[in-house]
Amino acid sequence: MSESGNSDAPLFFERDGRVATITINDAPINRMTLDFMDRLEEVVDEIAKDPTIGAVVFTAAGDENFSVGMNLKELPAGAKRMGSVEAVFDQRLRVLDKLENLDKPVIATLFGYCLGGGLELPLACHFRLAAAEGAKIGLPEMDLGSVPAWGGSARLTRAIGRDRALDMILRAKKIDGPEALRLGLVNEVWPNAELKEAAQKLARELATMPHIAVAGVLRAVVNADRAQVAQGIADEREAVMATMGTKDQQEGMRAFLEKRTPVFNQE
């Protein structure tokens, strides 16, 4: 099973034995476009139904960046296509929830820019491996006059704790791989040239484990704090919608597009 022959595909979905690999196909910055998210939802559903897949690797094309997250310029088109801005965000929340609740381990590779949705998606994976050099990992939505919109605040808090999550989000911090390892955000750090193969090796190892037992552990661990994460995501959604259309949010977007420092507190 392979889609790599179609260079225009928003993602590649490939199989090698019991390991499936999903590759974001928008190098060098690997945006998570509307078409990408539509296809990703289909792929995650396919993986969920396939008992012959034992583990999944989530990576990105090229060796420069994992993902800068959503293509913000597509948001108006997405709202028109799906009926509302809320529907665009709801789809992304739904897909990440499906990914997190797969009954097989999912491993994400973090290298280069891993920002916004480019971190929120790995946060929904079960293992995260980061590059030793060059990674810029963070949730910079505060610089846009907004807040994370795909469950990032809740899942980051679960991963590294309240105080560290607040420090990263409120200060729009971007950290590297070794710092992410120190904080407990990633499981392992590898030299850049070895990162993707390390993820494949881990996936092959996990895919040999007894499937029923693996599925049971994943269900128990993911569900252990499910209510707390769900409440955090609900609170996050309320915060997202409260920022939509505000003067600060508009200023943040203009500053982003104009590549300048925003001037906030304009309300």
Residues catalogued as catalytic: 120, 141
Specify the amino acid at residue 147: V
DSSP state of 67: B
Q: What are phi and psi of 265, to 5 degrees?
A: 60, 50
- Cα 200 to Cα 251: distance, rounded to the nearest angstrom: 42
Tokens of residue 180, six digits: 């992410």
Residue 16 to residues 126, 150, 189, 243, 257, Cα–Cα distance (Å): 20, 30, 24, 44, 40
Specify the DSSP element, H or E, that contains 98: helix 85-100
| Burial letters 105-122, b for 16+ CB under 10 A, else e | bbbbbbbbbbbbbbbbbb
- Confirm if 115 and 139 have CB atoms less than 8 A apart: yes
Q: HSE (CB half, 13 Å, CA atoms) of 134?
A: 14
Q: Which residues touch 68 (CB under 8 Å, ≥6 apart)?
A: 29, 30, 31, 113, 115, 116, 118
Calpha distance 111→196 (Å, rounded): 10
Using alpha carbons, select from 19, 42, 33 the residue that is nearest to residue 107.
Answer: 19
